[in-house]
């Protein structure tokens, strides 16, 4: 199980995702995620999470949850901001609209430990 924090970082991509989350805890704080516009915009997401709800670590015999926390982060370009294809879902979304940009706060985590969701969740960007 790993924990990672990205702070005050600008990530720019021309095709694909800015960040791919597979497992562990990821915190994105005060970053700028930019997906360049192109004819394949439907493939561009700022964040893609393929993580499952939890992992059991055999050596410690404890369960560690996976998730992404986004705090005061600008997401620009692309057709959608977030795609989840694992068992995690988008939760507690807050957006502040200013003249020049949109700032996002949200969590990608397990919605219910007894329910497994496999549907994709997308947050559109205006």
**Is residue 60 in a domain?**
yes
Give the whole-angstrom CA distance, residue 5 versus residue 112: 25
Q: Does residue 120 sit within a domain?
A: no
123 assigned to some structural domain: no
Question: How many structural domains comprise the chain?
Answer: 1
Full pLDDT tens readout for the chain, 126 residues: 688 999 999 999 887 789 988 888 999 999 999 988 777 766 778 898 888 766 555 655 555 678 899 999 999 887 788 888 878 888 999 999 888 888 999 998 886 554 434 334 445 555
In this structure, is residue 105 part of a structural domain? yes
Assess if residue 89 is contained within a domain. yes
**Which region holds residue 14: left if phi is over 0, alpha if psi is between -120 and 50, else beta?**
alpha
Handedness of CA 14, 15, 17, 22 (dihedral sign): negative
For the stretch 41-64, pLDDT in tens is 667 788 988 887 665 556 555 556
Domain enclosing residue 105, as ranges? 3-112
Whole-prediction pTM value? 0.77
**75 is a domain residue:** yes
Residue 45 domain-assigned? yes
Asked if 82 and 124 touch (Cβ cutoff 8 Å), the reply is: no
Residue 18 lies in a domain: yes
């Amino acid at each position: 199980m790993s924990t990672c924090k990205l702070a005050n970082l600008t990530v720019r991509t021309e095709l694909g995702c800015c960040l791919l989350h597979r497992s562990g805890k990821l915190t994105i704080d005060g970053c700028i995620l930019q997906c360049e516009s192109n004819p394949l915009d439907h493939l561009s997401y700022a964040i893609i999470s393929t993580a499952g709800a939890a992992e059991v670590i055999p050596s410690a015999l404890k369960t560690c949850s996976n998730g992404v926390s986004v705090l005061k982060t600008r997401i620009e370009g692309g057709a959608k901001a977030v795609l989840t294809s694992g068992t995690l879902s988008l939760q507690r979304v807050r957006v502040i609209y200013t003249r020049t940009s949109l700032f996002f706060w949200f969590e990608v985590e397990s919605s219910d430990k007894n329910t497994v969701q496999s549907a994709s969740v997308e947050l559109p960007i205006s």
